[in-house]
Amino acid sequence: MKTTLDLAKLPDDPEKLKELVVDMAVQMQRLQEQLRLALRGRFGRKAESVDPAQMALFQKQIDEYVGKMVEASAKLEAVAVAPEGHGRRQQPLNLAKQLEHYPLPDDQKTCPDCKKPLKKIGQETRNILEHVPSSVFVRVQTNEKWGCPCCQDKVVTSELPAQPIARCLAGEGLLAHVVVSKYADHLPLHRQAQILGRQGLDVNRSTLCGWTAQVAELLEPLHTAMKAELLKSKVIHGDDTPVSVLDRPEDPPPGEGGKKRRKARQGRVWVWVGDKLHPHTVFDYTPNRKREGPLDFLGSWKGFLQADAYPGYETLYKERGVVEVACWAHARRKFFDAQDTDQARGQAALAFIGRLYQVEAQAKGLSPKERQALRQKEALPVLKAFRAWMDAQVLVLPKSAMGLAFQYALRQWAALCRYVQDGDLAIDNNAAENALRGVAIGRNYAESPIMLS
């Protein structure tokens, strides 16, 4: 409860004064935590790394809860991945090669001592990586017309190849280059227009925008086919991220001069990642984050949905038979953020979660049945010990960062533990988060996809 402090009307009752002090202390702690997180997000490290020496401090405490996990931990340490060696990387074998030969000049083919002719005894080769700047060229397509010498009106014309966009000057290579540069390399269209201008092609940004929109229409059947295959998956990973969208320019209010104004608003990009049998990554766009977005996309699909704790998914879980699988990376992030104000409990929780990820490191490469058996044997005792440890904790302010971390983990506990029941499930939702990383990176550099009406 947020309290407004009126110094002129402080209560005289000591109990009410105590409640007031506690409430103000909680508010102050929350503001300090918000300020700390904001400063770390702006200036601090993004990686959620923890000093291994600090984690070792909680080894004895965790072993007391887990019991026989020491032997399992030794097995896990034996499968640690060897560090990569240093040195120059090997060149890819699929790169095109341009051969250059530099023969010895004729005036140097005589021995400088005995003046006899030299004989070739070998050669040396060195490889140099080179780059040829991209260029724009014109493909001149010519067809033929054939006519009958007897029939004046009988003319047969050879067909030209079909164009991706009818009556468009851009070929498929240039269209693909514009789209990939914008969405994969995060190069805004106005910068692409400048680059193409340096290559001799004078093209407006509005033209590139039109090409991009028409290519999106061409790819719609492919998107539909990929979505149909995705919805055959047993497990789907889902996530979303905000994007800025520019509406079409609107007229200024009556009586005000000036140019038409473009209004920016926040839309939503969703990503859906299929399982190994249906390895498709499909993106979707909605103008907001209402639950209708995922409900309309998934339709009547039933299976395991691995996602964050977004409340809009509740209809899928309660009414459509979708099984919720929570993400341990989200839970870990909350404990990581809370450790600055409650270091002992924060790092103890991180140590428990670190044990779970150690089991996953050992499970790589195993079949689903083998992975499930390993999790039941090694991860399940850790989960039970972690839950017992959380239930035993006291004096945690409910609105503090640590209190919110405990509430998140306990509220999602059944969904967090579900991955140990099926070897096809993952411990976290990193598959979807990694798929959205490109959108998040380009959000700060690229302009809006298209202007919407």
Condensed to tens digits (0 to 9), the pLDDT of residues 339-366 reads 888 888 999 999 999 999 999 999 999 9
Name which residue leads in pLDDT, 81 or 216: 216
User: Between 328-338 and 401-411, two packed helices, what is the crossing angle to 10 degrees?
Assistant: 160
CB environment 187-224: b (16+ within 10 A), e (fewer): bbbebbbeebeeeebebeeebbbebbebbeeeeeeeee
Q: Do 419 and 431 form a contact (C-beta atoms < 8 A)?
A: no
Tokens of residue 185, six digits: 């390399």
Cα separation, 209 vs 79, whole angstroms: 51
Residue type for position 323: V
Is 80 exceeded by the pLDDT of residue 304? Answer: yes
pLDDT mean over 172-196 = 93
Q: Do 413 and 46 form a contact (C-beta atoms < 8 A)?
A: no
Tokens of residue 402, six digits: 């640590």
Q: Do 247 and 453 form a contact (C-beta atoms < 8 A)?
A: yes
Q: Dihedral (C-alpha) 205, 206, 210, 216: value to the nearest 10 degrees? A: 50
Is 50 exceeded by the pLDDT of residue 70? Answer: no
3-state DSSP call for residue 97?
Answer: coil
Cα separation, 427 vs 442, whole angstroms: 27
Cα separation, 84 vs 93, whole angstroms: 20
Confidence of residue 28 (pLDDT cuts 50, 70, 90): confident
pLDDT mean over 320-343 = 92
Model pTM score: 0.75
pLDDT mean over 15-31 = 75
For residue 94, the model assigns a pLDDT of: 80
According to DSSP, the β-strands at 304-306 and 235-246 are parallel
Is 80 exceeded by the pLDDT of residue 192? Answer: yes
pLDDT mean over 173-191 = 93
pLDDT mean over 387-396 = 87
Q: Do 236 and 426 form a contact (C-beta atoms < 8 A)?
A: no
Picking from 339, 352, 331, 363, the residue whose alpha carbon sits closest to that of residue 429 is 331
Is 70 exceeded by the pLDDT of residue 213? Answer: yes
Which helix (H) or strand (E) covers residue 304, if one does? Answer: strand 304-306
Cα separation, 373 vs 383, whole angstroms: 15
